[in-house]
Chain A
Amino acid sequence: MKTLTNTPKPVEAAKRTPTRRDLFKNAGWLVVGFAAAGTSPLTRLANAQSPAAPTGPYPDVDFHQLDSWIVIRPDNSATFYVGKTDCGQGTGTSFRQLMSDELDIAYDKTTCVMGTTDITVDQGGSGGSTAMERDSMPMRRVAAEARRVLLDMGSTQLGVPVDQLAVADGVITVKGDPSKSVTYGQLIGGKRFNVTLTGNNSNATAGKAKIKPLEELKNTGLSPNRYDIPAKVDGSLKWAVDVKLPGMVHARNVKPPVVGAKLVSIDESSVKSLPGFVKVVTKGNYVAVVCEREEQAINAARMLKVNWEKPATSPFPSSENLFKYMRDVPTTSSAKPIVVGDPDTAFPAAAKVIEADYDIPFQGHTAISPAHALADPSNGQMTIYSNDMKSYGMRIGVAAFLGIPKEKVRVVWMEGPQGYGRTAAEDAGCEAAYIANELGRPVRVQWMRNEETAWDTKAPAFAVSMKGGLDAAGNLVALDYNARAADYNHVGYNEADTVLIAQLMGIRRAKPSAGSAATPGEVYAIPHRRMTAHVVSLPVVWETPLRTGNLRDPNGPQSTFASESFIDELAAAAKADPYEFRMKLLTGTTDDDRGFHRARSIAVLKAAADAYGWDRRPSPKARGTGEILTGRGMAYAFRGQTIAGEIVEVEVNRRTGHVWVKRVVCAHDCGLVVNPQSLRHTVECAMLHSISRALYEEVQFDTEKVTSVDWVSHPTLTHADTPASIEVILVNGDPNPKRSDLAPYGAGEASCKPMLAAIANAIFDATGVRLRRIPLRAPRVLAALKSAQV
């Protein structure tokens, strides 16, 4: 494997050393402070804006202009402006690899600017693991178009037809006469392309040029180090939490102590004399305290006396009673069942029928840093400095919430704590904007740890009932999947009427989101099956900390825990090896329309089993006699077109109930691999995230409030739990693996899916005890072992 060793000077250098040069005028508005990204004088070259009459200083960046995407400097370097953000997987580095390949410029001579709404085109920020799969495609096309335009210019300059030109590392030469050459920088450095592109939306953007076949990509498939890492380890990176503006103040929220409580009165005298006190900002049930200094705001928010009126009824059952509630309550909505064959006839005819219920609790993002944002309302505009992965959506949401044109709002995306989905970063953005608007001063909002853990959006809890029928030979002939997700009024991205501050102010959308419950992602050939997904509602769905929102593969870990645990139960009932049982189901037929999944599912499962050294035998194994019982378990799933198969070895301590996932093997097929190193690390960390969800994470609550409020009451995976060995095998299971148009598929989420079931299956293998309720914390495991007399 080739490796690129030179880490180029990142454009982010501009972010961390703001100077006078960084103050720039934009359409007549002096932007206070500094622009966080792309602040070189050439920035505005890349800031080609829509021709429509602007109603504010920040019109949409025009994706139809090549200049919006690529700037080439006289020194023959290039900067790529992309409408994406990075949650820490190194997508910017991968974009540079692909774009430098299409442009034919040296990778080391490129930089990448991401996600700031007035500088980069709107590609939606992050979400759905679409960075490579969808959003890299327009980037490749525009880079190819820039190359085409530059070759045309080179042809004119050198006086030879394009087909007699060669280009490498940004230097165009005449074939057979290398003395005749011109660089990209000489042709266009510091000047605009003025080339108009086509396409109905940013991700359909195209020029006349075609992208290269994969064989011609040089940097793609290599593992240059991520450009963003050096500044993250030497302390020089300016994060969203680091931005400071003249005159800025600090705000802290005061949340209702009981869910659904109504604000009766505020005793402002309780904080008025505190040092640095600025103001109490309140509307409806929303309350925030503003002070000059951060620690003053924290203190004042604690000291503020607020009189709340408790609601007459409980907002939700306690977390201990959640699953009973979810199974008993009438459903709110149901997807049309997916039915194959005739399960109603097949079950009574089956030789053996087994049933099992699986419970997965609410789980949170619980980012390492609580939500934060800084809003600057100077000069009638609104700038938000935020790590929200959907900066473009935040711009729209803040504009709608404040009732101002979106052209007056910009969101400067900066690095922050991981935010895999719809996080409270969005709520903090609207809160900062609202308070800043009230005060006319820059305001920094930061949630506290208890707020973050309790009130950030949650992945929905799932109660799943499974039923399976085996024939006399142990073949799976009928399967029923019936899921209930507590997902009603699921909070979307940057909706001005569902952000928490809007809810607390009493704003209600007429039609809340119906929510969703997923069906599993597998292609087992089962002659008769039914898959049903229902949504249920908690008693209170507004102003509640149990509001659901997207969390990394929003429903995948839950649905897959049930489906892949149950496949294991069926394999055990059939006294079959779990791998062979699955392979039989995968290879049972090829005549469905998902053959593309099927071949790759088979390849992935086989690769995982081979790498692990899977010994074929039914589970459970003969139980050991020592304190530590070991076992192995597997699970597989796809998400979109990405397939992940995972095998774990666990150690179960029969005295304490503690489970250690000692060894992990993952086979992963996401098509074209752009940066193997970044991909491996992404998959590795996604799996560990799921180990944490499997073993520890649960948002707990009584009938009034969430009681998981810190890292003690909401434990997470730690260093001590880290597997001793993790192996990620990158599989290309494409039926035509060498094709020139092999596509990249999303890699940020698929590997989250199988882990919960793989662990439960391994515990069963080790102990013979089946655990069906997440998380698998030691007391729960120990109780199950004891009741089974293990």
Chain B
Amino acid sequence: MSVTLKVNGKSHTVDVEPSTPLLYILRNDLGLQGPRFGCGLGQCGACTVIINGVATRSCITPASSVKSEITTLEGIANQGKLHPLQQAWIDEQAPQCGFCQNGQIMTAKALLDKNPKPTDAQIREAMNRTLCRCMTYYRIQAAIKRAVKVVAADHAATEQEVVA
């Protein structure tokens, strides 16, 4: 049996059982290191990828059910430039061990893609099911707010250029 997946712009055909959870294919067949196993139950978020704009838990997503492109942590930088969230994560020095941060960043990206200016409450709500056992939540929320500001400032600058 084989499954064809489009991941970060490239198509891959993998010879696996169609019910195989997406996570193991991304990690073990495609060699991706962003999504990671944390619970296998869809409870912690360490395995998060984005499909159709939705932060999706790849550990409980059968590979055969995926019909759209998959974006992983490796795929959100733009031509070598880190995504504003990734940069904000560095600027805020958000991680401790860093193991969960894939899920944190990808969940935050799905949020900002839908809602570029979330309130504090919306950030807490959207991020609430993405767990961190080093408890870096405070820094993560600061990093998200920083990224929101940076993106807004970039947009403002771009608009000014257009006007000029």
Residues of A near any B CB (own CB < 8 A): 7, 87-90, 225-226, 228-230, 232-239, 241-242, 244, 275, 293-295, 298, 366-370, 415-418, 446, 448-449, 677-678, 681-682, 684-685, 688-689, 691-692, 710-712, 716-723, 726
- A322 CA to B99 CA in the complex, in Å? 34
By the criterion CB–CB under 8 Å, are B97 and A417 in contact?
A: yes
By the criterion CB–CB under 8 Å, are B139 and A681 in contact?
A: yes
- A232 CA to B89 CA in the complex, in Å? 10
**B55-106 interface (Cβ within 8 A of A):** 72-74, 77, 82, 86, 89-90, 93-102, 105
By the criterion CB–CB under 8 Å, are B33 and A242 in contact?
A: yes
How many positions in chain B have a CB within 8 Å of any CB in the partner chain?
57
Number of A-B residue pairs, CB cutoff 8 Å, is: 169
Q: Shortest Cβ distance from B158 into chain A, in angstroms?
A: 24
By the criterion CB–CB under 8 Å, are A233 and B95 in contact?
A: yes
B127: chain A residues within 8 A (beta carbon)? 719
B156: chain A residues within 8 A (beta carbon)? none
Instruction: Among B77, B98, B140, point to the contact of A719 (Cβ < 8 A).
Output: B140
- Consensus secondary structure, chain B interface: loop
19 contacts between A and B (CB under 8 A): A88-B95, A90-B93, A225-B90, A226-B93, A228-B98, A229-B93, A233-B90, A234-B74, A235-B74, A239-B36, A244-B31, A295-B21, A449-B39, A712-B43, A716-B133, A719-B124, A719-B127, A719-B140, A719-B141
Instruction: Among A88, A681, A722, point to the contact of B124 (Cβ < 8 A).
Output: A722
Instruction: Among B93, B94, B131, B139, point to the contact of A716 (Cβ < 8 A).
Output: B131
Given A233-B105, A448-B40, A726-B138, A368 and B46 contact (CB-CB distance below 8 Å)? yes
Q: Is B130 an interface residue (CB 8 A)?
A: yes
By the criterion CB–CB under 8 Å, are B33 and A236 in contact?
A: yes
B16: chain A residues within 8 A (beta carbon)? 293
B77: chain A residues within 8 A (beta carbon)? 234
- A764 CA to B135 CA in the complex, in Å? 25
Flag B32-51 by CB within 8 Å of A: 1 or 0 each. 11101111110110100000
Q: Shortest Cβ distance from A97 into chain B, in angstroms?
A: 15
By the criterion CB–CB under 8 Å, are A711 and B41 in contact?
A: yes
By the criterion CB–CB under 8 Å, are B34 and A235 in contact?
A: yes
B97: chain A residues within 8 A (beta carbon)? 87-88, 368, 415-418
Query: Residue of B at shortest CB range from A296?
Result: B17
By the criterion CB–CB under 8 Å, are A369 and B37 in contact?
A: yes
By the criterion CB–CB under 8 Å, are A719 and B133 in contact?
A: no
Residue of B20, B21, B133 contacting most chain A CB atoms (<10 Å):
B133
Instruction: Among B74, B132, B140, point to the contact of A368 (Cβ < 8 A).
Output: B132
Query: Residue of A at shortest CB range from B103?
Result: A368
Residues of B near any A CB (own CB < 8 A): 16-17, 20-21, 24, 27-28, 31-34, 36-41, 43-44, 46, 72-74, 77, 82, 86, 89-90, 93-102, 105, 123-125, 127-141
A691: chain B residues within 8 A (beta carbon)? 135
Query: Residue of B at shortest CB range from A717?
Result: B135
By the criterion CB–CB under 8 Å, are A718 and B98 in contact?
A: no
A723: chain B residues within 8 A (beta carbon)? 138
Q: Shortest Cβ distance from A390 into chain B, in angstroms?
A: 16
Given A710-B41, A719-B123, A418 and B128 contact (CB-CB distance below 8 Å)? no
Instruction: List the 4 closest A-B pairs by CB distance, nearest first.
Output: A88-B97, A688-B135, A88-B96, A232-B98
By the criterion CB–CB under 8 Å, are A241 and B90 in contact?
A: no
By the criterion CB–CB under 8 Å, are B105 and A720 in contact?
A: no
Residue of A232, A415, A681, A717 contacting most chain B CB atoms (<10 Å):
A232
By the criterion CB–CB under 8 Å, are A238 and B33 in contact?
A: yes
By the criterion CB–CB under 8 Å, are A369 and B36 in contact?
A: yes
B98: chain A residues within 8 A (beta carbon)? 88, 228-229, 232-233, 237, 415
- A716 CA to B141 CA in the complex, in Å? 17
B17: chain A residues within 8 A (beta carbon)? 275, 295
By the criterion CB–CB under 8 Å, are B43 and A710 in contact?
A: yes
Given A233-B95, A298-B40, A712-B43, A717 and B137 contact (CB-CB distance below 8 Å)? yes
By the criterion CB–CB under 8 Å, are B24 and A234 in contact?
A: no
Q: Shortest Cβ distance from A276 into chain B, in angstroms?
A: 10
Instruction: Among B28, B96, B102, B125, point to the contact of A681 (Cβ < 8 A).
Output: B96
By the criterion CB–CB under 8 Å, are B72 and A417 in contact?
A: no
- A235 CA to B90 CA in the complex, in Å? 13
Given A295-B24, A719-B123, A233 and B46 contact (CB-CB distance below 8 Å)? no
Given A237-B98, A369-B99, A449 and B38 contact (CB-CB distance below 8 Å)? yes
